[in-house]
Structure 1
Amino acid sequence: MIHFENVGLRYGLGPEILRDITFDIPASSFQFLTGPSGAGKTTLLKLLFLSLKPTRGLIRMFDRDIASIPREDLPMLRRRIGIVFQDFQLLDHLTTYENVSLPLRVRGKEEHTYRSDVIELLKWVGLGQRINVLPPVLSGGEKQRAAIARALMDQPEILLADEPTGNVDPPMARRLLGLFRELNRQGTAVLIATHDFALMDQVDARRMILSDGRLEIYS
């Protein structure tokens, strides 16, 4: 599904943040991305979401070389990728329900085709009583769960999650991990960036460790 080969990235004339990154993400796979703060995990996720382009190396996604993809084709490709960043990116003037259903509305789907699914998912992530609340009223953990629900609504082929359990208590972290695992069983590839070793120990999955701009992989 995704192939990186000798990928490097630098900002301007500065030193390389990522160096000689090579790995594959097979369809329906599950992996963790970990490493010290500042190692470049979020930058790598942005490369995977096509919001950054590498300064060198090859990236192939869904059988296409991203260097040759026209700019106007990128939004369609991103629809195949679900992503949860640490800043949540919720729109403050939309309710929890409206934020989570936004990807479907953008695609032109009629509300009657998805309303029950959105409400069911919000209940599953513990936001059943917060459906009509605006983001400024939500706690950090509630915003995180709303962002996760939004990323899942479009049934992505791959889910990228940056510290998805960082603002929730251990029981909710286990519940969210169960949601990711169920999504994976249904065929979605999952990559979770995390510092939480207790979380990683709950799943027999590949670990990719990013340190000093380089990546090591342990199956």
Structure 2
Amino acid sequence: MIHFENVGLRYGMGPEILRDLTFDVPDRSFQFLTGASGAGKTTLLKLLFMSLRPTRGLITMFDRDIAMVPSGDLPMLRRRIGIVFQDFRLLDHLTTFENVALPLRVRGRPESSYRRDVVELLEWVGLGDRVNALPPVLSGGEKQRAAIARALIDRPELLLADEPTGNVDPPMAKRLLSLFLELNRLGTAVVIATHDLSLMDQLEARRMILTHGRLEIHG
């Protein structure tokens, strides 16, 4: 699904933040991306989401060389990816239901075809009683769960999650991990960026460790 070969990234004339990254993310795989704070996990996720272009190296996504993809074609490629940002990026004028359903609305699906699925997913992440609430009245943990539900609702081919359990208690973190695993069993490749060792220790999965801009892979 994804291939990085000798990828490097720098901003302007500064030093490289990421360098010599060579790795694959296979179809239907599950992996954690970890490293110290500031190691570049979020930056790497942005490369995977194609919101950043590398300074050097080759990135192939869905059998396409990203360097050769016109900028106008990138939104269609990104629709194959679900992403959970640390800042949630919910739209304040939309209800929780409407935020979660947004990827389906963008695809032109009528509400009658997805309403039940959205409500069931919100109940699973503990937001069944917040369906009609607007983001400004949600807690940080509730916003995070809404953002996760939005990323999962369209069963993407690839899920990228940046610290998805950072604002929830341990029981909900375990429940969310189960949700990610179920999505993976249904065929989605999953990359979870986290520094939470207790979360990673709950299952045997490949760990991609960023240290000083370089990547080590275990498992």
- The 2-side partners of 1:82 and 1:133 are apart by 23
Q: 1:1-219 alignment to 2 at 5 Å?
A: 1-219=1-219
**Contact 1:84-1:161 within 8 A present in 2 as well:** yes
Q: Which runs of 5+ in 1 are unaligned?
A: none
TM-superposition CA deviations, 1:119-140 (whole Å, max 9, x none): 0000000000000000010000
**Contact 1:159-1:189 within 8 A present in 2 as well:** yes
- The 2-side partners of 1:184 and 1:202 are apart by 15
**Contact 1:158-1:189 within 8 A present in 2 as well:** yes
Q: How far did residue 168 of structure 1 move?
A: 0.1
Q: Which residue identity does 1:25 align to in structure 2?
A: V
Q: How far did residue 8 of structure 1 move?
A: 0.2
Q: Which residue identity does 1:9 align to in structure 2?
A: L
Q: SS in structure 1 opposite 2:133? A: coil
Matched length: 219
Identical positions, percent: 81
Q: SS in structure 1 opposite 2:216? A: strand
**Contact 1:5-1:58 within 8 A present in 2 as well:** yes
Q: SS in structure 1 opposite 2:9? A: strand
Q: SS in structure 2 opposite 1:4? A: strand
- The 2-side partners of 1:71 and 1:193 are apart by 26
Q: Which stretches of structure 1, 4 residues or more, deviate above 6 A after TM superposition?
A: none
- The 2-side partners of 1:60 and 1:119 are apart by 35
Q: How far did residue 78 of structure 1 move?
A: 0.2
- The 1-side partners of 2:12 and 2:203 are apart by 39
**Contact 1:79-1:154 within 8 A present in 2 as well:** no
- The 2-side partners of 1:31 and 1:134 are apart by 33
Q: How far did residue 107 of structure 1 move?
A: 1.1
Q: SS in structure 2 opposite 1:33? A: strand
Q: Which residue identity does 2:5 align to in structure 1?
A: E
Q: Which runs of 5+ in 2 are unaligned?
A: none
Q: How far did residue 87 of structure 1 move?
A: 0.1
Q: How far did residue 153 of structure 1 move?
A: 1.1
Q: SS in structure 1 opposite 2:98? A: helix
TM-score (norm 2): 0.99
Q: Which residue identity does 1:145 align to in structure 2?
A: R
**Contact 1:83-1:161 within 8 A present in 2 as well:** yes
- The 2-side partners of 1:94 and 1:185 are apart by 31
TM-score (norm 1): 0.99
Q: How far did residue 71 of structure 1 move?
A: 1.0
